[in-house]
Chain A
Amino acid sequence: MLWADKYRPKELSSLSYHKQQALDLRNLTKDGDFPHLLVYGPLGAGKKTRIMCLLRELYGPGVDRLKVETMNFTTPSNKKLEISTVGSNYHIEVNPSDVGINDRVVIMDVIKNVAQSQQLNANTQREFKVILLTDVDNLTKDAQHALRRTMEKYIANCRIILCTTSISRVIPAIRSRCLCIRVPAPSIDDITSILTNVAAKESVSLPPELAKRIAEKSDRNLRRALLMCEACKVQKQGLVASQSVSEPDWQIFIRNIASKIVKEQSIATLAKIRENLYELIIFGIPSEIIFNTLLEEMLKNCDLELGRQIVEQAALYEHRMAQGNKEIFHLEAFVAKCMCLYQNMMQELMACEF
């Protein structure tokens, strides 16, 4: 098993960073009850780990016996859909955005069913079940509105834990019904210490410089840091301070795109970049991430004024992308615009020189 999963803490007490928060959570569940939670934070910050620890605290080790089930339901238009859920006897984890625009039906049908059914034997168990909804930021507005009433109505039977990376796309109505818990990304020092600990457990010597470098490269994503660290180990049969840390391939790929933009501004390049962008999209790299990475890479090559303009354009097109259907159109428009801006700047520079 990969290190990232092997050394995942199972108890709130064994969490190695944000300890105060862990303590708070523990206190929250002390009396055996807690409100709806909205847990948010960047990728690899440990949201789910924390949630599972919390559930374990609540129900005991039974929550670790996970099983995957598929639930069937039919949309109003008689389309039969199924959604896979992961759950134990005490909780159920659903990602409603799996079914795209039909997520509202999931909320209305599936979750309501779970929420409505009462526990038979309240003595051995808590009197409520927990529904864990992931990727809430991808829920449609309809689904979120459908969730509002359910959250209130069935509070006796169930608690809902929402897990999301960004709170901005959760409607205020839901935010106000939940206790919002922000799980910030671990600091670089946190990551370094965790990496060292894991290496020690695996009885591999990890030079502190390398640990630091990995932590920095990992974008403060603990999962990524661990995976990178393991990859380093595999790469060189042990860890050396000087060895290079391989980044995720998609990141390199996007960097290449950015350098292409800077290198040559022409229609032909634009056509090539389109192919590259298609590649990224096909392999499921979320377009927001493409946008962000691309912008970051672009900004490395820009002076302040140009950077300001590019950021402005990026904001414009990312907004459009969120409104539209086809990401590639907006990404391409952004790239084209960047090229234009860059070309203009170069021309101005040339004009100044002469």
Chain B
Amino acid sequence: MSKDIRSFFTVISKKSDANSPKAASPAVKKKPKRIIDSDDEDVISATPDKEQKKVEKKREVLSSDSDEDAKKKRKTEEPKLKPVNVADVFKNSPIKQSKVEVPQTPEVKPTKAEEKKPKNRKKKHDAEKEIHNNSAFNKTLEDLDDDIFEQSIHLIESIEEAYQGDKEKKESKNESDSQVQSAKKRSRNDSSSDNQTPKKKKIEHSDSGIDPGQEAHEKKRYSAMLYQRYLNRGEPKHLGMKELPKGKPNCLQNLCFLRTGVLDSLDSEEFANIIKQHGGRVVHAVSKKVNYVVVGAEPGPAKLAKAESYNIPNISEDELLDMILTKSGMEPKYCKKNTSCDSEDLGIDLNHETKPSKEKISNKTEPKKETPEKKSSVKKQNGTAPSKIEQEIKSETLSSNSFYSQPGTSKVSESTKIENKVEAVQLSLPEKYKPQTLRAVIGQQGDSSNLAKLKHWLENWYKNQDPKVKKTLARPSPWSTKKDDGAYFKCALLSGPPGVGKTTTATLVAKELGLDIVEFNASDTRSKKLLHEEVAQLLSTKTIAGYATGQPNVNRNRVLLMDEVDGMAGNEDRGGIQELIQLIKNSSVPIICMCNDRNHQKIRSLVNYCFDLKFTKPKLEQIRGAMMSICCKENIDVSTQALTEIIAGTGCDVRQTLNHLALLGSTKGEITVEVAEKESKASKKDTVMGPWEVCRTVFTKSEHKDMSVADRARLFFFDYSLGPLFIQENYLRVQPEGSKKEGLLKAALTADSISVGDIIESKIRRTNNWALLESQAFFSSVIPGHYMSGHFNSQINFPAWLGKNSKKNKFKRLISELQSHTRTSASASKMAVKLDYLVPLRNAIFTPLIKNGLEGINQAVGVMKDYNLLREDVDSLIELCQWLQGENPMNSIDSKVKSAFTRTYNKQVTLLPYAPASGVSKKKAAALESDLLDELDEISDNEDDDDISKNAMIKVKKKTAPKGKKADEGKGTSKNEKKGKAKKK
């Protein structure tokens, strides 16, 4: 950069005037620039008048040339660097400073003008446009001179220029070293602006003229020095000392900022935050899209240079803060405080303010409203300037704006009115903006939407339910992918999360089709009895209106709305669902049921009888659109970002979003992103993590590295019964960080911790000491997560422990059965049976079968008899023995032998010392008994028999069963005795 600067100086010394005419012609095109440039001149005032005049003349000549000449190609390049040069040249201030603040500021306007205009008009014919602009600008200037400004108002550009002109004047006055008359200045404006552009050109040329080798060397040295400086540069001088402004959230909308150097009080994060808060954008590389470069101490020269090349205005931190203030309608205060801030800064500020106004004007959206405000703010800012100037400005602004000042003020008053209204917003937004037409239901547009389906179903209901038609309709299979219009069903079930518009949809559809709604919701008792009586009655009654009009079938226009079906629960609504199903079966009117959880146990039976319509949450964008319009109607000032936050926070629940908006809208006039974020965070429903997720988070380093210990412990509590199992199951699948050698050690430590966790758990369960749960969280979850923190090698498995445990219990049961059967002949305890008996016993039964085939059967059955084994016991014996060898002895036996074996066993009247197959027979007996009891109940219900007889009957039944059992047992024992005797013998 320094080089550049030097070069600038050389340029100045060499070719300040000489080259100017050449370049002048192309530069003329942009009116705003010119104006600004003229500003600079005014400000500086060091330049002799003579020179200016000279240039003027030349310019005039050249400008005419330029219009005709096709030299326009250069234009794009020429604007680059110009402002800097100018400033440097004219101002003798220190280089850096000049770069940072003063010189670049004039760019503000040029870039804006440049960018905006071409954009608006499409960049195709840049050159032409610029020429046009030129002429237009010249015109307007003349207009200004002649005080016929009002007449040319219809040209929006001219308005802008007018502002700029005003500002320039102000600045110049602020300078107050030369109180020149406004008219004169204007005339000079032209000349000066033209003056500068040529200079820039010259500079460029000079740059290129430098010896390349020397340049490279210089560059190198310089960049090294720069880098050193960059490394040594400190923190913001007044970090956190300034009170940051709180402007309107959108005041920097569509603006893009770039920071370079160390700002006075903001570090990079704060800087980004403050801009984002106000709707702006922060980038880190210079591009054409950047609107401002915020320059701090020791800025990066490359960035500055590039920014200059794009004609991006440089501003200081204070200016930025003031910009925020002024744009949100407050008084700027930062620059004033800064005594070092010279008048130029103010001017720059003003420029910034005007920019948005310019934009708006060019957009023609609401130019009138905006402009007056700007004006006023402009005036305010100039409060420091001498009163004379102020007056002048006022008169000027007024005169120039007289055309539209009136409507503008009226608008302002309107807006204030609106703001007053905002405070009186009613809290019942959801009610107020309940969709009134089918179209207004969010997320239910389109033919395949639930709303359309419901409407179609309801329209065709009577047609479909006609007995003749009904026969032709088949019940759709629940797995068919075909589109189903629900013609078969008498009832529709709308299911979906709260706040997606189920009830609204249903009521609207019914209204649209002209049906009367009979609604039952959770506030009504809906027990079996009540449903049966009331609803049936309601549905069968006819409205008097029907008789009056003589319509025979009055039932027709009715629909039964069963809202919140899943709320049919508890003692109050007992049997409600069953009755509802009955009702649906026999209904002569369409029924619409609504519920939140379609998979609920209670609803499942109902689903079979319903046309199933699942409502999903509308998309965030859909909601946002509707909310924006409501906010607009209600004058709730909320940014898109904030609204997005709120909607996301409610989980796309329209009703809740509205409630939030109502609350926020009533408390404050506007909703900032911050507030919205806070609010949405507070309202955010706690998402429950599944055990899989928990397990992944516990072990995956990338996911838990930012979590505090307490957060990690909290993971455990998502499911403290399943979580530890998941962790135990999966910790060996984790690839822990660090060397492989340590992996085993870590695994051992983890296993140790898990084992402690198990002890704690058993303590908790045994003594109900749930306070220990937190300790368990650490041993079962946090510590394993700490040791084995890494990443998963394979997918997370469901804990095998559960399955294994139930299997273990099954085998335990088998063994205990076996043990109790063999108990009379073998004295072995369960453990002994398990450890020693199983295999020999199995072999004793099956070896004869395998070896001898059919002849071995008797021997095998003999063993079974000896040990009082049942046929089922043999199977369980096989299962119990099969765990290792994996071979089933049954497989090696001929199927003939097998069946013969079974037959022989069945033929033998085995005398068992126990009630055979107690489990099964008991269940059967119990079932039988209960059946009998039920029958009896029914009989008694139907016939209202005497209590005594009923009781007697039951007693009889009950008695018989035990008797039979006893008899069996008696038999068993007697036979046993016989057996014992036989044995003795």
One of A11-19, A147-155, A179-187, A283-291 at the interface: A283-291
Asked if A221 is at the interface (CB within 8 A of a chain B CB), the reply is yes
Give the CA-CA distance A234 to B845 in the complex, in Å.
12
Q: Which residues of B contact A285 (CB under 8 A)?
A: 834-835
A250 lies within 8 A of chain B by Cβ:
yes
From B756, B830, B884, B972, contact of A95 by CB (8 A):
B830
Cβ < 8 Å to B, chain A residues 53-107:
61, 64-70, 84, 86, 93, 95, 98
Q: How far is the CA of A266 from the CA of B750 in the complex (A)?
A: 14
**Bound form: Cα–Cα A138–B835 in Å:** 17
Selected from A64, A286, A336, the residue in CB contact (under 8 A) with B744 is: A336
Do B977 and A65 have beta carbons less than 8 Å apart? yes
User: In the assembled complex, which residues on chain B have CB atoms less than 8 Å from the CB atom of A286?
Assistant: 831, 834
Min CB–CB distance A47 → chain B (angstroms): 9
A300 near B: Cβ within 8 Å? no
Within 8 A of B (CB), among A269-283: 270-271, 274, 278-279, 281-283
Cα A337 to Cα B831 in complex, Å, equals: 28
* CB of A224 closer than 8 Å to a CB of B: yes
Give A134 to B828 CA distance when docked, in angstroms.
11
Contact with A along B907-937 (1 / 0, CB 8 A): 0000001110010000000000000000000
Q: Are A333 and B840 in contact (CB under 8 A)?
A: no
By the criterion CB–CB under 8 Å, are B840 and A227 in contact?
Answer: yes
Query: Which positions 855-880 of chain B face chain A at CB distance < 8 Å?
Result: 863, 866-867, 880
Please indicate the chain A residues that have their CB under 8 angstroms from the CB of B683 in the complex.
Answer: none
List B750-796 residues whose CB lies under 8 Å from chain A. Answer: 750-752, 754-759, 761-763, 765
Measured between beta carbons, the chain B residues less than 8 angstroms from A308 are: none
Contact A65 B980 (CB under 8 A): yes
The listed residue (B745, B765, B801, B827) touching A340 by CB distance below 8 A is B745
Interface pair B811/A274, CB less than 8 Å apart: no
**B804 and A68 within 8 A (CB):** no
Q: Please pick, from B816, B831, B836, B976, the residue contacting A227 in the complex, using a CB distance under 8 A.
A: B836
Stretch at the interface among A1-9, A33-41, A109-117, A196-204: A1-9
* Shortest Cβ distance from B841 into A: residue: A2
**Interface residue stretch chosen among B90-98, B277-285, B818-826:** B818-826
Question: Is the CB–CB distance between A248 and B839 below 8 Å?
Answer: yes
* Most chain A CB within a 10 A radius of its CB, from B754, B826, B827: B827
The reply to whether the CB of B19 lies closer than 8 angstroms to some CB of chain A is no
Give Cα A93–Cα B816 distance, bound, in whole angstroms: 14
A115 to B788, CA, bound (A): 57
Contact: A323 with B759, CB < 8 Å?
yes
Known contacts: A248-B836, A270-B747. The answer to whether A317 contacts B827 by CB under 8 A is no
Question: Given A223-B832, A224-B836, A284-B811, is A325 in contact with B820 using a C-beta cutoff of 8 Å?
Answer: no
State in angstroms the CA–CA spacing of A65 and B743 once bound together: 61
Cβ of B226: which chain A residues have Cβ within 8 Å of it? none
**Is B758's CB under 8 angstroms from A340's CB?**
no
Interchain CB contact under 8 A, B745 and A1: no
Say yes or no: is A343 at the interface (Cβ < 8 Å to chain B): yes
* B522, CB-defined interface residue at 8 Å: no
Once A267-B743, A282-B808 are accepted as A-B contacts, the answer to whether A325 and B761 lie under 8 Å apart by CB is yes
Query: Which of chain B's residues have a CB closer than 8 A to the CB of A25?
Result: none
Distance A84 CA – B823 CA, assembled complex (angstroms): 11
Closest chain-B Cβ to A184's Cβ sits at a distance in Å of: 17
B808-A86 in contact (CB<8A): no
Contacts of B765 in A (CB 8 A): 325
Q: How far is the CA of A289 from the CA of B880 in the complex (A)?
A: 18
Residue B434 is within 8 A (CB to CB) of chain A in the complex? no
A178 sits at the interface (CB 8 A): no
B800 within 8 A of A: yes
Q: Counting CB contacts under 8 A, is A311 at the interface? A: no
**CB <8 Å contact, A249 and B832:** no
Interface flag for A135 (CB, 8 Å): yes
CB < 8 Å neighbour of B914 from A67, A323, A328: A67
Over the window 122-136 of chain A, the binary record of Cβ atoms lying under 8 Å from chain B Cβ atoms (1 yes, 0 no) is: 000000000000110
A221 to B829, CA, bound (A): 14
Interface membership of A52, Cβ < 8 A: yes
Complex CA distance for A159 and B827, rounded to whole angstroms? 20
A283, B976: Cβ atoms closer than 8 Å: no
Q: A267-B747, A284-B811, A332-B751 are in contact. Are A68 and B914 (CB under 8 A)?
A: yes
A231 contacts the other chain (CB 8 A): yes
**Among A68, A266, A325, which residue has its beta carbon within 8 angstroms of that of B758?**
A325
Contact indicator per residue, chain B 181-194, by CB within 8 Å of chain A (1) or not (0): 00000000000000
Across-interface contacts of A250 in B (CB, < 8 A): 835, 884
- Given A2-B844, A70-B918, A279-B883, A44 and B824 touching (CB < 8 A)? no
Whether the Cβ atoms of B758 and A329 lie closer than 8 Å is yes
CB-nearest residue of chain A relative to B761?
A325
A86 and B827 CA atoms in complex are apart in Å by 11
- Chain A residues, CB < 8 A from B866: 1, 5
By a CB distance below 8 angstroms, the chain A residues around B808 are 281-282, 284
Q: How far is the CA of A227 from the CA of B761 in the complex (A)?
A: 41
Q: Is B843 an interface residue (CB 8 A)?
A: yes
The answer on a CB contact under 8 Å between B825 and A282 is no
Q: CB distance A67 to B972 under 8 Å? A: yes
Given the interface pairs A43-B832, A248-B835, the reply to whether A1 lies near B754 with Cβ below 8 Å is no
Tell me, rounded to whole Å, the shortest Cβ–Cβ distance linking B925 to chain A: 13
Contacting pair A320 B801 (CB below 8 A): no
- For residue A217, CB closer than 8 A to chain B, the reply is no
Choose from A1, A325, A326 the contact partner of B863 (Cβ within 8 Å): A1
Q: Does A330 contact B (CB under 8 A)?
A: yes
CB atoms of B754 and A333 under 8 A apart: yes
Residue of A nearest to B762 (CB): A325
Q: What string of 1s and 0s marks CB contacts (under 8 Å) between B957-980 and chain A?
A: 000000000000000110011001
Q: A230 interface residue, CB < 8 Å from B? A: yes
Q: Among A65, A224, A267, A282, which residue has its beta carbon within 8 angstroms of that of B804?
A: A282
User: Is there contact, CB below 8 Å, between A284 and B834?
Assistant: yes
Q: Which of A48, A223, A283, A337 contacts B751 (CB 8 A)?
A: A337
CB distance from B913 to the nearest CB of A (A): 5
Check if B835 sits within 8 Å of A68, measured CB to CB.
no
Q: Does A265 contact B (CB under 8 A)?
A: yes
B197 at the interface (CB under 8 A from A): no
- Which of B765, B804, B885 is most buried by chain A, counting CB atoms within 10 A of its CB? B804
What 17 additional pairs, Cβ within 8 angstroms, besides A64-B983, A285-B834, A323-B763?
A1-B863, A2-B840, A5-B866, A43-B831, A61-B984, A65-B976, A67-B914, A68-B914, A223-B828, A223-B832, A227-B836, A278-B800, A283-B883, A289-B831, A337-B748, A339-B744, A343-B744
Residues of B within 8 A of A (CB): 728, 732-733, 741, 743-745, 747-748, 750-752, 754-759, 761-763, 765, 800-801, 804, 807-808, 811-812, 815-816, 820-821, 823-832, 834-837, 839-841, 843-844, 847, 863, 866-867, 880, 883-885, 913-915, 918, 972-973, 976-977, 980, 983-984
Q: Could you tell me which A residues sit within 8 Å of B by CB distance?
A: 1-2, 4-5, 8, 43-44, 48-49, 52, 61, 64-70, 84, 86, 93, 95, 98, 134-135, 221, 223-224, 227, 230-231, 234, 248-250, 253, 265-267, 270-271, 274, 278-279, 281-286, 289, 317, 320, 323-326, 328-330, 332-333, 336-337, 339-340, 343
- Please give me the 5 A-B residue pairs with the lowest Cβ-Cβ distance, nearest first: A68-B914, A333-B751, A336-B748, A324-B758, A48-B827
